[in-house]
Every structure is written in C-alpha cells, then in structure tokens.
Amino acid sequence: MDVSARRRSVKRYAKQIRLNWELFLFVLPAVVYLIIFSYIPMGGILIAFKNFKPHLGIFGSEWAGARYFERFFTMPMFPVIMRNTLSLSFYQLLAGFPLPVLLALALNSCRYGRFKKVVQTVTYAPHFISIVVIIGMINVFFSPSTGIVANALAKLGLSGEPLMILSSPSAFPHLYVWSGIWAGIGWGSIIYLGALASVDPSLHESAMVDGATKFKRVLHIDIPAILPTVVIMLILESGKIMSVGFEKAFLMQNSLNIGASEIINTYVYKIGIREGQYSLSTAIGLFNSAVNYAMIMLVNWIAGRLGESSLW
C-alpha cells in the first residue's frame, strides 16, 4: 500500500469514528479492559525466558533462554500431566460437545410447552451452582462409608465392600467429565436454541405437506440450519483443549487419584505458587497457550477447507 492509499484509509477511518463516535464510546470501556488485563500482562511471558528473581524484577533478571522449556520437556511428570490433560480434554469434548446440540434439537421439537419449560429450568439450574458445591455433592454421593450411593447399594445387597470411587484413578475422568456435562448441558444448549429459533417455519410446513416425519425434518432442516453455529462452537472449544478447569480438578484431587488428576494447570499452581518456581511455571503456561493457539488455528483451517463456517 502506497503513502496516498494509506492516507486515504486513515481519513476514511477517521471519518467513520467522527460520524459514529457514540458507538465507539460504548466500545471504549471493553477495549480499555482488554488492554489493561489481557495485553499489558503479556509482557510477563518474558519470565519464561529469564532466571526470574522477584527482588530483581523481570528486566533485571538474567536471561535463561529455553532452559526452562527443556527442563519441562525432560521432567518425569511431563508425559503424565500431558496424558491426563489431553485424555480429559478429548473425553470432555467427545462426550460433552454433542449433548447440548441434541438437547436443543429435542427441546425445539417438543410440542408440549409446559414440559419444555420444566426441562429447560431443570437443565439450566446446575450451571448456577458453584464448583465447590458440586464437588461437595460428589463427595456426599460417593463417600465410601456414608455416601448416598454406597448406602443404597448396601441396602440392595449389591456392595459387599466400601466404594472407593473418589480415590480411584480410573473413576476420576468419568466423575470429572460427567459432572461437568450435568452442570453445563442446559446452559450450552441456549445458543443452539437461539439458532433454531431463526429457522423459517414455512420450511417445516412444506416438509410436513410432503410427508416428512419429525426425524426427517430435524435431519434435513434443523441440523443444516445450526451447522454453522456448531462449527464455530467446535472451533472455540478446540482452543481450550489444554485448558482443563483447574478448580474442579484441584478440588477432586487426592493422594490416591493423583496419577489421573494431575493436569497442567494443577501442576503449574503447585510449582509456581507453592514452590516459587516462577520461570518454570511461566514456561509451562506459555507452552499450554501455544498448543491451544495451534489447535484453534488447525481446526479453523480444516473447517475452512471443508467448506464450513470458520472464524476468519
């Protein structure tokens, strides 16, 4: 772009701002918030490349290069936390992503308004329960001695010895993922219900005249209508593949199931906050963010190549 074209572009943008300054004023607080809390803190990633000493500051500490990345990749815990993080993420994505879509399709096809409202209320409500309370509920249900599930099985004569679900490494992924699905399935279906609300009713009327069943109308009208939204949400979810929730995993973690519950976020907390290894924890966090960025770029590229909607 030559100088004259650049000047014309600047004048055009300045004119747009001048004519629509009220709209830009509404956006200004959000922009300031992002700059202060998202962009300025990015300077802290320098800690990953320095032997950070708090009393020297970021710029006063000596350079360490890629030392802490190499240390992380060669640590005995590296394969363990990577396996746990990726297995939980993909399990959560495969099991949890389609269910809100199916719930939205089912609710949209429901003819009984009162039943639909009851189902929506019941499925939305768990979203507003805090993670701490959810973990407390899991402990109440699955406690080995006094848990509701253990007592019910004992009364039915189906359990001769205490249930060790909370301390079982093999049970941890299932508890983590399905409790999350229970808490988020209703809330996650809202965006798909909004997309389904934009479907032209005349399409369903025409299909009914042609003799299409309800299943065929869902298959050929509803699903294609929400497919762009589904693809966009899948791309956004793929960008969180390494960001398994810290709070929930940390609260469910104990000394017996730590082989399955130790993920990147809990490990960063332990070595960064508890042990004060700031450079190493920052390097791990930067690696985590880089993988998330690569995943969202890859899935977005695949969606674009397949002819579906994409973020850009």
Q: What is the reported pLDDT for 140? A: 85
**pLDDT average, residue stretch 227-233:** 88
Least confident of 34-38, 96-100, 275-279, 303-307: 303-307
The pLDDT confidence band at residue 162, using thresholds 50, 70 and 90, is: low
> Mind giving me the DSSP string for 120-185?
HHHHHGGGGS-HHHHHHHHHHHH-TTT-HHHHHHHHHT--SS----TT-TTTHHHHHHHHHHHHHH
CA distance 247 to 239: 19
The pLDDT confidence band at residue 1, using thresholds 50, 70 and 90, is: low
CA distance 220 to 212: 10
pLDDT, tens digit, for every residue of 238-294?
888 888 888 899 999 988 889 899 999 899 888 888 888 889 889 998 898 888 888
Q: What is the reported pLDDT for 306? A: 73
The pLDDT confidence band at residue 54, using thresholds 50, 70 and 90, is: confident
CA distance 43 to 56: 16
CA distance 152 to 148: 6
Q: What is the reported pLDDT for 161? A: 63
Domains annotated for the chain, with CATH where assigned, are 66-305 (1.10.3720.10)
Mean pLDDT score across all residues of the chain: 86
**How close are the terminal C-alpha atoms of the chain, in Å?**
22
pLDDT at 106 over 70: yes
Q: Are 64 and 295 in contact (CB under 8 A)?
A: no
Least confident of 99-108, 145-154, 173-182, 235-244: 145-154
**pTM score:** 0.82
The pLDDT confidence band at residue 122, using thresholds 50, 70 and 90, is: very high
